[in-house]
């Protein structure tokens, strides 16, 4: 029996949270006597339970002489507690119940989260243990959530900080940092930090490395473990913690668990971390320009403005209004103008709250070659648009339009995966939102506040910004090196006359105005028809209906019968084998795709803002088109996309810009992270036909705009149309959309004998192949091995079931042995892989160690694991088997997930829509002996097969 309300050791802060129309969950916000706040979420139908804790301490709380300690403490909390001292106890428990965990350290918070199966018994309909699973309560002794929560809570009650495991985690932090040393995103982020004022914590090195966390502190006489414990005790306090718990259990039961497990978290009544009145950048940096040499061949312009902290202005969101207009991509926008001038490919903008008391407003422009030469002209255009905004008053109709779009978004918001929900909401709880608006305050705009908009615009000023130019060519000399990543850069003051010119432009006195710049028009894609015909459905169908199947077209249709949102997905495969015959045809098809995207950018931006998007892809079998979002105007967007494809005008200037961009992207691939390169090469090696980046690069220079003009009609001249219409559309709608596609493109029939099948390379038993390539970047200290064991065809259901179960069993031991204990590298993982028609098991490691050594460690692990598997207790094996079954049976969370699953089976021509059920049927009878025999045949290094 649940406790009476009066006897609760917690105070209820909110019970009736503002929620969307589709949200069937129950919520309650409580505060424990130790001031820890918790949001409880009851979801009777969830098959995954989850919890997340957000602690109001992050890298901004690092001491100046031990940068990275907040991040390292995050790592250390996973390595054992007084109640559960085993360093892999937490991870091992989660894995057995089909779960996982992670954490991240931000500037002012550290966020820990996990998810686990909601049930310890099989959710399979054919299992006797599965009866009324959504109705009957689960005792805490049998609840995977309670067991996980018990282990999780100890992070915040009594972590061990064991000296031995702590040292290994410091090496993991060091490996994580080394993984990022050649990443331009990390290098740019740290350069921005390093140039910040030393009086602001933004200036610090947030990741940390072995030198900052071990060697230098030791040299100063610091006791490392004591320092970590001290940081934890100084900063981790219950009143700074926000917990979110999601499960099938009732709110009363969840509350009882929270009170039982988290009441012992110590409360020090610490104040919120704030940095009011401290400028992120000193005055000398404002009005300067910084030139940065990147690792990859890229060109960009970034403007950074110190900006007011708007955390308490959540009801009006003035920064959203400003970024909406400065970052607009439609007619009259900054981007539309500088793109027409041939200066830019994209532009983004937005305000980012760095911490309570400080914010920055970013504007980033990806430049063309001409744009790099004219970057100061781009800045002039930007400030002319700012002047336009300042001259006119903030527009109420624009806020009303944004308000309506956000209301629709919130009203029809669908469920996200459990751990994403809890992690996100625990971070939201750190915001100053009313507790009954935790679900809505981040989304809804409730007020029009012109004064706050004008205050925000005052910060977008020529005397209040720093300009950064990123290029490998310009200016050619970068005499300075950033301390932590070694990024080469140069700083200079903007010329006085140029700053005066910008001031005049921003004040509306800078000469002739650019007539092409103006406010956007009303968004014609704002959805009007949002009606959904909801029916009682005993069980949603898993298979779409084939409603048309003739020589030209195959149309599949599935009416939404479980999510009830006014949305739809339209997937098209325009099947034509000529698109991937050679590197030349592959590049020509890519040019076509890029040019169509380029031509549609202004038109489709409003649709995207209104929750309706399109995508154009170039897989190996033809062209893919996808329309997704609110169904009201989906047909309008589809027709415009198809007409743009059919009537494409290949302009010489845009072709040249796209060709140069494609060349850089192909070259940059060899400078990407080694584990990403290894994955791409593995996919290429598995394909019956595919082309490497270097083969494409060899062909690219010869292609001209005239080639593309002559080529693309051949793609559309003859094809087979495969189509999926899914969501809030009826059969008649699907057939009309099919006719629209057919009439617009009017292709000739493509006989089935000419369809390009998706095939993969099948390796002979006992094969042992190696493919290697030297990294192009000599500064990258990492190696990577992608170790793949092929175990047969995907059509062998029994083999597939064994592979999935063994992958589940191996997941945690691979990580614990090769990453946690042996410290081979930060990137360590394993999982089952599918390459079209073949399946296998993959171990990937990125490390400072060479690949030969890594291969030896993988094979030693597999050899030793035979004994572990052979002696595995039956109950442990059963937990893995049930955990996998429940993971496979996990419900789809939203319409998009269902569409992706259906399209996967249709586009691959497997039509195996009941794959999940078939998997479960073959997993259920598997025995310990079956898996051991399978391991010995396919995984054991000494096996002849």
Please choose, from the candidates 85, 147, 609, 576, the residue with its C-alpha nearest in 3D space to the C-alpha of residue 333: 609
Mind giving me the DSSP string for 21-51? TT---EEEEEE-TT--EEEEEE-TT-SEEEE
CA distances from 779 to 622, 646, 679 (A): 39, 46, 21
DSSP E strands in 810-921: the ranges are 827-835, 838-847
Burial of 858 (0-12, 13-18, 19+ CB in 10 A): buried
Please choose, from the candidates 175, 203, 180, the residue with its C-alpha nearest in 3D space to the C-alpha of residue 281: 203
Q: How far apart are CA 415 and CA 563, in angstroms?
A: 9
3-state secondary structure of 114: strand
3-state secondary structure of 676: helix
Distance of CA 531 to the CA centre of its chain: 31
Pairing of strands 553-559, 545-549: antiparallel
Please choose, from the candidates 624, 621, 648, 656, the residue with its C-alpha nearest in 3D space to the C-alpha of residue 712: 648
CA distances from 351 to 43, 333, 460, 736 (A): 34, 18, 11, 43
Q: How far apart are CA 140 and CA 260, in angstroms?
A: 12
Q: Which residue has the tokens 């500037």?
A: 107
Distance of CA 876 to the CA centre of its chain: 33
Catalytic residue (one of 3, 18, 37, 74) = 74
779 part of the active site: no
Instruction: Please list the residues that pair with 100 across neighbouring strands.
Output: 115
Rg (CA), the chain: 29
Q: Which residue has the tokens 């018990």?
A: 150
Per DSSP, 818 falls in state I
Q: Which residue has the tokens 């009416």?
A: 559
Q: Which residue has the tokens 């040299």?
A: 219
Contact 650, 709 (CB under 8 A): yes
Indicate the helix (H) or strand (E) that contains 590.
helix 583-609
| Orientation angle between helical segments 144-153 and 89-96, nearest 10 degrees | 160
Please choose, from the candidates 413, 735, 786, 722, the residue with its C-alpha nearest in 3D space to the C-alpha of residue 575: 722
Burial of 866 (0-12, 13-18, 19+ CB in 10 A): middle
Helix and strand counts by DSSP (H, E) for the chain: 30, 24
- What the block records as the tokens of 703 is 């292609």
Per DSSP, 640 falls in state H
Q: How far apart are CA 319 and CA 490, in angstroms?
A: 31
Indicate the helix (H) or strand (E) that contains 305.
strand 300-307
DSSP E strands in 308-425: the ranges are 344-355, 358-367
Per DSSP, 395 falls in state P
Please choose, from the candidates 274, 261, 213, 266, the residue with its C-alpha nearest in 3D space to the C-alpha of residue 241: 266
Q: How far apart are CA 178 and CA 206, in angstroms?
A: 13
Largest Cα–Cα separation, the chain: 83
- What the block records as the tokens of 745 is 């493109």
Contact 59, 264 (CB under 8 A): no
Please choose, from the candidates 424, 320, 425, the residue with its C-alpha nearest in 3D space to the C-alpha of residue 17: 425
3-state secondary structure of 107: coil
Q: Which residue has the tokens 């060109």?
A: 299
119: left (phi over 0), alpha (psi -120 to 50) or beta: beta
| Catalytic residue positions, numbered | 74
């Amino acid at each position: 029996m649940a406790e009476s309300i009066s006897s609760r050791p917690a105070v209820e802060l909110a019970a009736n949270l503002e929620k969307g129309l589709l949200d069937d969950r129950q919520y309650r916000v409580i505060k424990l006597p130790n001031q820890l706040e918790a949001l409880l979420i009851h979801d009777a139908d969830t098959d995954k339970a989850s919890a997340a804790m957000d602690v109001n301490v992050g890298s901004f709380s690092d001491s100046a002489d031990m940068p990275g300690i907040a991040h390292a403490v995050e790592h250390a909390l996973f390595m054992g507690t007084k109640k559960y001292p085993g360093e892999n106890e937490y991870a091992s428990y989660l894995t057995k119940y089909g779960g996982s965990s992670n954490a991240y350290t931000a500037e002012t918070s550290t966020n820990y989260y996990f998810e686990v199966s909601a049930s310890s018994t099989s959710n399979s309909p054919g299992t006797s243990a599965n009866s009324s699973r959504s109705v009957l309560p689960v005792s805490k002794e049998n609840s995977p959530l309670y067991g996980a929560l018990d282990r999780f809570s100890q992070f915040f009650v009594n972590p061990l900080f064991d000296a031995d495991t702590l040292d290994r985690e410091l090496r993991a932090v060091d490996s994580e940092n080394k993984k990022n040393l050649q990443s331009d995103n990390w290098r740019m982020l740290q350069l921005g930090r390093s140039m910040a004022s030393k009086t602001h914590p933004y200036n610090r090195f947030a990741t940390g490395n072995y030198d900052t966390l071990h060697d230098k502190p030791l040299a100063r006489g610091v006791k490392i473990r004591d320092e970590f414990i001290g940081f934890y005790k100084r900063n981790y306090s219950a009143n700074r913690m926000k917990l979110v718990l999601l499960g099938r259990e009732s709110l009363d039961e969840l509350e009882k668990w929270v009170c039982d497990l988290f009441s012992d978290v110590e409360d020090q009544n610490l104040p919120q971390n704030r940095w009011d009145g401290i400028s992120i950048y000193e005055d000398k940096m404002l009005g300067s320009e910084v030139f940065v040499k990147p690792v990859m061949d890229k060109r960009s312009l970034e403007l950074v403005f110190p900006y007011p902290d708007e955390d308490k202005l959540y009801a009006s969101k003035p920064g959203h209004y400003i970024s909406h207009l400065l970052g607009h991509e439609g007619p009259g926008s900054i981007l539309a103008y500088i793109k027409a001038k041939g200066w830019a490919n994209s532009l983004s903008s937005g305000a980012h709250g760095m911490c309570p008391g400080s914010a920055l407003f970013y504007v980033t422009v990806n430049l063309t070659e001409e744009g790099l030469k004219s970057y100061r002209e781009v800045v002039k255009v930007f400030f002319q648009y700012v002047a336009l905004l300042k001259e006119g008053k903030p527009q109420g109709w624009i806020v009303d339009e944004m308000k309506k779009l956000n209301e629709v978004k919130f009203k029809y918001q669908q469920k996200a995966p459990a751990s994403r929900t809890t992690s996100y909401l625990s971070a939201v709880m750190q915001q100053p939102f009313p507790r009954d608006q935790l679900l809505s305050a981040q989304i809804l705009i409730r007020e029009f506040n012109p004064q706050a908009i004008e205050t925000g615009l005052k910060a977008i000023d020529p005397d209040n910004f720093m300009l950064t130019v990123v290029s490998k060519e310009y200016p050619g000399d970068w005499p300075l090196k950033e301390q932590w990543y070694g990024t080469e850069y140069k700083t200079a003051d903007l010329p006085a006359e140029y700053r005066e010119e910008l001031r005049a432009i921003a004040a509306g006195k800078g000469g002739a105005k650019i007539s092409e710049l103006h406010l956007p028009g009303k968004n014609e894609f704002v959805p009007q028809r949002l009606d959904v015909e909801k029916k009682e459905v005993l069980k949603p169908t898993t298979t779409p209906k084939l409603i048309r199947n003739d020589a030209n077209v195959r149309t599949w249709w599935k009416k939404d019968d479980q999510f009830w949102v006014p949305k739809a997905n339209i997937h098209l495969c325009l099947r034509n084998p000529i698109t991937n015959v050679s590197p030349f045809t592959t590049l020509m098809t890519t040019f076509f795709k890029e040019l169509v995207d380029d031509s549609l950018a202004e038109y489709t931006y409003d649709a995207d803002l209104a929750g309706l998007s399109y995508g154009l892809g170039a897989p190996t079998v033809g062209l893919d088109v996808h329309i997704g979002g609110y169904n009201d105007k989906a047909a309008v967007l589809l027709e415009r996309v198809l007409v743009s494809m059919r009537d494409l005008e290949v302009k010489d200037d845009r072709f040249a810009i796209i060709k140069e961009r494609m060349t850089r992207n192909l070259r940059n691939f060899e400078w990407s992270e080694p584990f990403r390169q290894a994955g791409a090469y593995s996919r290429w090696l598995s394909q019956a036909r595919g082309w490497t980046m270097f083969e494409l690069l060899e062909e690219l220079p010869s292609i001209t705009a005239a080639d593309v003009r002559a080529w693309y009609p051949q793609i559309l001249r003859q094809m087979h149309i495969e189509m999926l219409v899914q969501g809030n559309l009826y059969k008649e709608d699907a057939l009309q959309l099919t006719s629209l596609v057919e009439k617009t493109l009017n292709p000739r029939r493509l006989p089935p004998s000419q369809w390009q099948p998706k095939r993969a390379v099948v390796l002979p038993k006992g094969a042992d192949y190696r493919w290697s390539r030297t990294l192009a970047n000599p500064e990258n200290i990492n190696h990577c091995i992608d170790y793949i064991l092929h175990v047969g065809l995907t059509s062998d259901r029994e083999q597939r079931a064994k592979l999935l179960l063994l992958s589940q069993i191996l997941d945690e031991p691979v990580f614990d042995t090769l990453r946690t204990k042996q410290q081979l590298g930060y990137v360590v993982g394993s999982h089952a892989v599918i390459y079209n028609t073949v399946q296998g098991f993959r171990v990937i490691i990125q490390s400072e160690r060479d690949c030969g050594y890594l291969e030896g460690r993988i094979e030693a692990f597999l050899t030793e694991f035979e004994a572990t598997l052979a002696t595995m207790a039956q109950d442990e094996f059963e937990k893995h088997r049930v955990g996998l079954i429940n993971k496979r049976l996990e419900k789809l969370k939203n319409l998009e997930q269902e569409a992706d699953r259906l399209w996967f089976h249709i586009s691959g021509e497997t039509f195996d829509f009941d794959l999940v059920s078939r998997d479960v049927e073959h997993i259920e009878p598997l025995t310990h002996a079956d898996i051991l025999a399978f391991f010995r045949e396919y995984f054991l290094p000494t096996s002849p097969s």
